[in-house]
Structure 1
Amino acid sequence: MAVSISAVALLGIVVFVLIRGGTVRLGSALVCAGFGFFLASTGAAPVITGAISAVTGWTASI
């Protein structure tokens, strides 16, 4: 669970920086956030969570 919270915080910071820098507009960021919420309720969510856990576990062992 701590990895999920950290990933959300990191991605939130990245989106904030991209919006402030003018690379991504607020509308685009909201669409991406909405897509993420809808994706989380599909059958792909466990696969994505497993992949993120595997990558973070791999990087932690380096």
Structure 2
Amino acid sequence: MAISVSAVLLLLIIVIVMLRGGTLRPLPALAATLFGFFLASTGIAPSITNAFRSLADALHSINF
């Protein structure tokens, strides 16, 4: 749960910076947000979540 909250906050910061910097227009940002929202309610959502969880576990297991 903590990883998903952190990822959401990181992506939100990136979107805000891109909107303020002019590299992302409001309508495409809205379209991408709605796409993510509707994608989360499909059958592929658990697979995406598992893939990101595996990636987070792999990064966590690397000793720096």
- Fold equivalence (TM over 0.5): yes
1:60 aligns with 2:35: no
Q: How many residues align?
A: 62
Cα drift, residue 15 of structure 1: 0.6
Aligned to 1:13: 13
Aligned to 2:36: 36
Unaligned stretches of 5+ residues in structure 1:
none
Cα drift, residue 61 of structure 1: 1.3
CA offsets 1:3-62 (integer angstroms, 9 cap, x no match): 110110011011111111111011111110000000000001000000010111111111
Higher relative contact order (CA 8 A, sep 6+): 1
1:23 aligns with 2:23: yes
CA distance in 2, matches of 1:61, 1:18: 31
Q: Which runs of 4+ in 1 moved over 3 A?
A: none
Superposed counterparts of 1:46-57, under 5 Å: 46-57=46-57
Greater Rg by CA: 2
Unaligned stretches of 5+ residues in structure 2:
none
